[in-house]
Amino acid sequence: MGAELRVGNWTVMLDGPKTLRLVRHDGIEVILPHKVSIRNLRIGQLMDYVAELDELIEKGSMTAKKGTTKFKLKRKAKKPGIWFLMARGGVNYDIELATSEALLIALKLQESSIEDITLKEFEWRTPVMFRGIREALLGVFSASALSEVAIAQVFKDRLDRAYIRHGAARAELLVEDKHFYIVLEGAGKGELGLFKKLADALRLDKLPVSDSLAARLLLGSARVPDILEDKAGVLVRKRILKELFKEHKGEMKFEGKHLVVGNKYGTWRINLKTGELRLNEYLLCIMPAYPFKFRGYIRLPGLGTFKLDSRTARVLAVAHIALRPDEVKDKSIKEQIRTARKRLVIGDFFLI
C-alpha cells in the first residue's frame, strides 16, 4: 500500500509516482493524477487540496471563472452522488459527474492561472529557439499541476459536444469513439482563418484535438487558435508536405509530430507543431526577416493558391531547407548546416 499521511479529514496515499489517492473519513475518495512526479509536492499544497475539497463537499456547490467562461458545479439534491457542471460564455456545455470526478475538476478549476495565462502569453510571443526557457518555467509550477489527460478522460466519458466561441472563432468540440475532434464553424481573418481555408481545401472538416488541449479548452484555459500547435496543425501540414514534396517521398518519414528527413547531410527532424529544425540533433536557428513572422503563399494542384498562417509557413520553410539544403543561400543558415553536418550520427534510420 505504501506510506499514508493524515491531513485533516483525509488520508493521503501514493498511488503511483504521479498520483495521489485521497480518502475522506466518510468514505469519499478522489484520485489526483499530476503532470509530473509528486515527490516534491509541498505539504502546503496537500493542505490546500483538502481545504478546498472539504469546502466544496460541505457547501455542495462552487463557481469559477476562467477567461470568458463561467463555471457552476452543484451537487444534485435528488440524485445522491451526482453533480452537475455547467459552463457558459466562451465555452458552453452541461454534464453530470460522479462525486470523485466533480472533486477532481473542481480542483483543476481552482488551480493557479499563472501557467495558463502568463506562460501561454510567453509562448505565443517568443521565438521557437527560446521555448526551452518556457519549459524551464513550467517546471516551477508543474509539480502541483493536475494532469489534463486525466481531466480529458472524464470528459470523454461524460460529454457529447461543447460549443466554443473566442472572438470571431466559433467551433464545436466533439467526442467520438473516445477521441476529441473540433469542427471550425467560423475563424475570422487572422491566423486561424488562414488555417481553416487550408483545412477546408484539403477536406478536413473535422480536425483531431489532443486530450491535453481538449481539457484546457473545456476548462477555459485555452483558445481555439491553439489548435494550430496541436494535432490539427500537424495533420494539415503533413498533407501539404506530402503534396508539395512528392519528389522527395523516399527521403521523408513522419514520426508523430515530427517529419524526419534523411539525405547526405544527415538526419533532419522538423517539429510540425512549432517549426523547430534540427540536423543531427543540432538545433538550427532559423529566424524570419522583419517583422519576425514567417509569411508566404502556396499553390496546391487542383485546389488553388493559399496564404499561409505563420506556423505553417515556418514548417514549410524549414522543410524546404531540409529537403533541398544545396539551395540554401543565407550565410548564417549555411554555416549552421556545416556545423551540424560535422555532428553526423549514424543511426538506425539512415545510414549515410
CB 282 within 8 A of CB 343: yes
The pLDDT, as a whole number, for residue 2 is: 58
Contact 310, 194 (CB under 8 A): no
Residue 261 in any domain: the answer is yes
Residue 270 falls within a domain, yes or no?
A: yes
Asked if 224 and 169 count as a contact pair (C-beta separation under 8 A), the reply is yes
Q: Indicate if 170 and 246 belong to the same structural domain.
A: no
Q: Which of the four pLDDT bands, split at 50, 70 and 90, describes residue 188? A: confident
Average pLDDT for residues 291-305, to the nearest whole number?
Answer: 81
Helix (H) or strand (E) holding 169, with range, is strand 169-176
pTM score over 0.75: yes
What does the H/E/C string look like for 171-214? EEEEEECCEEEEEEEECCCCHHHHHHHHHHHCCCCCEEECHHHH
Closest C-alpha to 222, from 310, 142, 116, 105: 116
CB contact at 8 A, 146 and 107: yes
Using the predicted structure, report yes or no on whether residue 348 has a pLDDT greater than 90. no
From 48, 66, 81, give the residue that closes a domain: 48
Structural domain of 194 = 159-210+220-225
76-97 mean pLDDT: 94
Question: Is residue 298 included in any domain, yes or no?
Answer: yes
Q: How many domains does the chain have?
A: 3
Same domain, 326 and 266: yes
Same domain, 164 and 260: no
206 and 290 share a domain?
Answer: no
Grid coordinates of 52: 478546498
Which residues in 272-349 belong to E strands, given as ranges?
277-279, 282-284, 297-300, 304-307
Of 39-43, 51-55, 90-94, 224-228, the least confident:
39-43
